[in-house]
A and B are shown apart, each in its own frame.
Chain A
């Protein structure tokens, strides 16, 4: 047997009993899960409230990352401010989109929403690619979060730990905002029965625009979070968005908590797959989606449609 194959087999055997490596992969999976959770949260907010499938979500995530890059390189504004400014800036852009384009579709079948946002995604990604090429732009991890801690079973970069914590906080805050506050109650009511809510004097179109802005802002926030660890490229959201779609289908589309939990869970499952059978880690999400659909079509926590 050639040398390299013999060594590979030994590595395989070692792997199967290496619990430390397993814990490491689980933690890494949790980190990835936080991105899935943030993104599917934004999608779920937009869909749950507006019945629009926001295909432009990936492009908006990318805009968030680019916004952080510009803030740093053109205005000298660092990461911490970017975390606040970029989601607001991209959120405003999203609200403009909603006002100018999406609102014309409010009476129509929501498949048109999918097509329109798909077109928007093509335009945004195409424009960015024309001006910035495809290789990507560098964005460094902020100094306060550099380095790592030795946890015993792995070396955890501090930035990654920050990502998990921050995402959890944001997800829970958003869930709380929508499910437990009065504003959230208005939002939910406005989408279930707009006419009645309008009769109460609440400005429904404004609520809808704000909701879209919130969802977009969440996508942009995920973009800022990912800029230091992934290359800032025009197509960085394009393939990610399809995975997030699968996450949302599995979690049940209308449910906020469902998307959060599924996002994290899927990150962990993907991490485990990377450990046991790495070649399949790309496809495991879709396979899971198929399985869930066969067993429980409305998703794990979704309402039956």
Chain B
């Protein structure tokens, strides 16, 4: 009996001491790292805007007033997986970064994903397109926030077929990404009742699309799906205008297109384009308010892209989770688990949630680019054509090959 009292006393002391030290160890310091492309192909999509969005999220969250100390650093991964992994390792080991934001470029994102998992850090990826981040390569440390190729294909394909575009011709960039885009979209088109009547593959970084556009024109498909990205897509669109494809009655569907591309093309050339995004600065009052504040601080008064908006939204949610936990445990998987518990709600993406595979879901919007006379000013580019609900837009868990999903 006495031994039992002594043991329980000792145990009690030990536990309370442990709990006490645990509470003391819960510090309120956070270091946020924005790893993006500042100088290359995607610098307009993320870049300095992502860092600004992170800054705004830190300010708006009011965490400093609650006693938190939040640091922000950013770096340019130059679209090189080598440099990105080196920076990621250094940031985790030496700089003690807790969370990685943005991480554009699918190759880079997958490489950093591995490092983040190995070192139990966190990545909220808002920039990369690859749906592998929540599929075969999913991890308990990564959340994929804004979009992925599956959702783009799903939303654009389905919504366009519903709107009457039931014959498709694909212009595909001949590499894994393009092929994946074409494959996913074809599947959706066929499932929604449409037909794929032809396709042609073009090499990556082609300057001249005349040959391929001629074939697309000759096919007389109602929709020409562009399974490519970046410079290839903008060149296709520009040259399609030359060949009178859109005036001839066919529609161009972009499968990976952003507002910065439309801005670069100009409305005269880009009018009538259809594609999906999950954020547009002019959707509602909340997005407008944020975007005006954002644009004031941006160098060329640019409105936020969905990638940059995702950085803001993701950080707000991360801070919410930290607040709920009472302190920063510096344990990536734990915080991500907490983030998955709390439903998301922010002024930019509205209400949504994070699934067990790390995929954040929210509604997807199909936009059409306005005609020049319909636009009231710069960046006023989109008209909403259709919405795909959050639970339908993304790859269903039943089709997922992510090991975190319990079948």
Contacts and interface: CB of A to CB of B under 8 A. Distances in A.
Interface in B172-220: 174, 186, 190, 195-208, 210-212, 214-215, 217-219
B19 to A, nearest CB: 53
Contacts of A166: none
A31 B239 CA distance: 13
Contacts of B195: 3-4, 7
Given A32-B208, A133-B44, A136-B234, A278 B242 contact: no
A21 B215 contact: yes
Interface stretch (B146-154, B260-268, B353-361, B390-398): B260-268
A47 to B, nearest CB: 23
Given A136-B234, A157-B242, A229-B238, A278 B212 contact: yes
Given A21-B215, A233-B231, A155 B244 contact: yes
B59 to A, nearest CB: 25
Interface string A141-176: 100000110000011010110000000000000000
Given A278-B200, A281-B203, A24 B238 contact: no
A231 B198 contact: no
Nearest to A138: B266
Given A11-B198, A28-B214, A274-B212, A231 B264 contact: yes
Interface string A102-131: 000000000000000000000000100110
A279 B174 contact: yes
A231 B231 contact: yes
A34 to B, nearest CB: 11
B325 interface: no
Contacts of B199: 4, 8
Nearest to B197: A7
B243 interface: yes
A283 B235 CA distance: 20
Contacts of B203: 278-283
Interface string B31-43: 0000000011111
Interface of B: 39-44, 174, 186, 190, 195-208, 210-212, 214-215, 217-219, 231, 234-235, 238-239, 242-244, 260-261, 263-266, 268-269
B214 A21 contact: yes
Interface residues of A, number: 49
Interface in A155-205: 155, 157, 159-160
Contacts of A134: 40-44
A230 B197 contact: no
B214 A160 contact: no
Interface in A1-50: 2-4, 7-8, 11, 21, 24-25, 28-29, 31-32
A283 B206 CA distance: 11
A4 B268 contact: no
Contacts of B242: 141, 148, 157, 159-160, 229
Contact of A240 (B207, B234, B266): B207
A137 interface: yes
23 contacts: A3-B190, A4-B195, A8-B199, A29-B211, A129-B43, A130-B39, A133-B43, A135-B44, A135-B260, A135-B264, A138-B264, A140-B266, A148-B243, A154-B214, A155-B217, A231-B231, A231-B235, A231-B238, A274-B212, A275-B211, A278-B201, A279-B174, A279-B203
Nearest to A140: B268
Contacts of A148: 242-244
For B42, B206, B208, B269, which residue has the most chain A Cβ atoms within 10 angstroms? B208
A271 interface: yes
**CB-based closest 5 A-B pairs:** A282-B203, A138-B266, A4-B196, A135-B264, A274-B211
